[in-house]
Structure 1
Amino acid sequence: MALSSTHIFVNLHVKDVKKSIAFFTELGFEFNMQFTDEEKAACLVIGDNMFAMLLTEDYFKSFTKKEVVDTGKYAELTIALSAESREKVDEIVNKAISVGGQLYCEPADHGFMYQWGFQDPDGHIWEIAHMDMNSFEGQDEV
């Protein structure tokens, strides 16, 4: 039997929870206030049952014995989100840059997929992509 989960919570360390809340609110995201205290943690709602916990570095350290990654030097992960159109990809990335994010890469058109990315104010990499699912018609799902 394959492992199946009902929710995903990605934990990300941030310098300033309030600043992170302001940034992601400007992008149109919402927060689950049940898991948000604005001082040490905020629960960013990415989608149905998908969340990113934005945790101060000290609080984040309470969940691991490993050192916190310097996102200015290292990529700890990339967060890839889908968008409903190429235009929406451009809109999200342009908005992120205008409210304090940094450009991560140039747009890439792979035919079946268009993607572009930014870094949030804490250096975490967010890649936004639109996939043309019609390109996969007749192929078996993975």
Structure 2
Amino acid sequence: MTGATFVNLPVRDLDAAVAFFAALGFVPVPRPPGAPGAQLTFGATTHLVLHLPAAFTAFAGVDVCDTATAREVIVGLAVDRREQVDALVERAVDAGGSALGPGQDLGYLYMRGFRDPDGHQWSFLHPAG
């Protein structure tokens, strides 16, 4: 087992979504012109696959949820240092996302959440220890 994770999400504007996640350090994988999706990587084993809504619906077999009223998932990504958590959320805000408040120190974990421009909820986290 390789342990790789693939997160698939629908987005309204593929190029804008790729630019947003690239601003956070995700690395885009080359794609053919006109492709209905894009892939980016974060670290060695996390892959983000973005789909235009019709392609996502065909792939998932269900309608895309309205992120203004529902959460289909909350994605948390671990980083190496605590200060990266706040720095990355600030980069998300600068790139068009919205912060979900200040960081939270839970003792065993420091985390801070944000929403991407399509309304998907994310958090960066740093485990204590």
For residues 5 and 32 of structure 2, what CA distance do their matches in structure 1 show? 20
| SS of 1:121 mapped into structure 2 | coil
After the TM superposition, which segments of 4 or more aligned residues of structure 1 sit over 2 Å from their partners?
4-8, 36-39
Query: 1:47-58 residue pairs with structure 2 within 5 A?
Result: 47-58=43-54
Does residue 30 of the first structure (1) align with residue 55 of the second (2)?
no
For these two proteins, the number of residue pairs brought into alignment is 128
Compute the displacement of 1:53 (Å): 0.4
Judge conservation of contact 1:17–1:38 (CA < 8 Å) in 2. Answer: no
Residue 9 of structure 1 is matched in structure 2 by 6
Pick the structure with greater CA Rg. 1
* CA deviations over 1:54-113 (Å, ceiling 9, x no partner): 100011011122211111111100110011112100100011011100112431111121
| SS of 1:25 mapped into structure 2 | helix
Residue 69 of structure 2 is matched in structure 1 by 73
Cα 1:38/1:17, change in 2 over 3 Å: farther
Cα 1:38/1:117, change in 2 over 3 Å: farther
Residue 61 of structure 1 is matched in structure 2 by 57
> RMSD between aligned alpha carbons?
1.5
Specify the code of the residue in structure 2 equivalent to 1:65.
G
**Identical counterparts, % of pairs:** 34
Query: 1:1-142 residue pairs with structure 2 within 5 A?
Result: 4-33=1-30, 36-37=31-32, 39=34, 40-132=36-128, 134=129
- Which runs of 5 or more structure 2 residues have no equivalent in the other structure? none
Judge conservation of contact 1:71–1:124 (CA < 8 Å) in 2. Answer: yes
Compute the displacement of 1:6 (Å): 4.5
Cα 1:121/1:37, change in 2 over 3 Å: farther
